[in-house]
Structure 1
Amino acid sequence: MNSNSYSPGLHKLVTLQVDDINKLTNSKQFIVFTDAILEKFDLEKVGLVTHDFDNDSFTIAVCLKESHICIHTWPEFQQLTLDVYLCNYLQDNSAKVRAVVNDYIDYFSAVIIKDFEINR
């Protein structure tokens, strides 16, 4: 890639409506699913931070060699926000970002409320 055509990566941000409150309150199950996603898409985890709130919502940041996956849940509103960014260091990972987000949408059986793509 030359410097004029280089794109650091695709950053996808979604807000989802989720009917299954258990999936919005079970951070451990989300981590297990995320580990499966990382294996499926050959992504390397370099760190993980989890915070469970008093109302059973959670925030998780998964730091990847390729960048990150972050989630924040609001069970009281049946919603979550998901942030997936993969860098394009050696290859274009845009399709992979979209596939990862789609797998999470399937996992949550979610309806998309907001969907943003930022080409960095």
Structure 2
Amino acid sequence: MTLPPYSPGLHILLTLETDSFSKLTDSLSFIHKTNAVLEQYGLGKVGSITHDFENDSFTVAFCLKESHICVHTWPEYKQLTLDVYLCNYLQDNTQKVKDIAQEYIAYFEAKVIKEFEIYR
């Protein structure tokens, strides 16, 4: 098998602001959304970890065969950070990363405060 030249992949880092307090405090809904995203985009989940804090904020990390999706919420500031990275081992996943980032912006009904695209 001949592979194309390798480009490790696109990593999008977002800081988002939202008035949807419930989405910043409901880790279970985020997990359900992410499982649906993984199925929709044909991604392989290796595992996930969740931590709910005393103020109802949460951190969730999904380890994927393709890399990861992570979120950290700050309801007291109406903000969250999100990172989506998929490697391009056997196919170019660049558009998937962009589409998945947009899925989460819509899910959180959020405004983008900061966005970084890192091509690795």
Q: Please report the TM-score for the alignment, with normalisation by the length of structure 2.
A: 0.96
Which blocks of at least 5 consecutive residues in structure 1 are unaligned?
Answer: none
Q: Which runs of 4+ in 1 moved over 4 A?
A: none
Which blocks of at least 5 consecutive residues in structure 2 are unaligned?
Answer: none
Q: RMSD in angstroms over aligned alpha carbons?
A: 0.8
2:38–2:44 Cα contact (<8 Å) kept: yes
Identity %: 64
Is 1:117 matched up with 2:107? no
The residue aligned with 1:22 is: 22
Is 1:7 matched up with 2:12? no
Q: In 2, Cα distance between the equivalents of 1:53 and 1:108?
A: 19
How many correspondences in the alignment?
A: 118
The residue aligned with 2:95 is: 95
The residue aligned with 2:47 is: 47
The residue identity in structure 1 corresponding to 2:44 is: E
The residue identity in structure 2 corresponding to 1:100 is: I
Tell me the secondary structure at the aligned position of residue 90 of structure 1.
Answer: coil
Q: In 1, Cα distance between the equivalents of 2:6 and 2:88?
A: 8
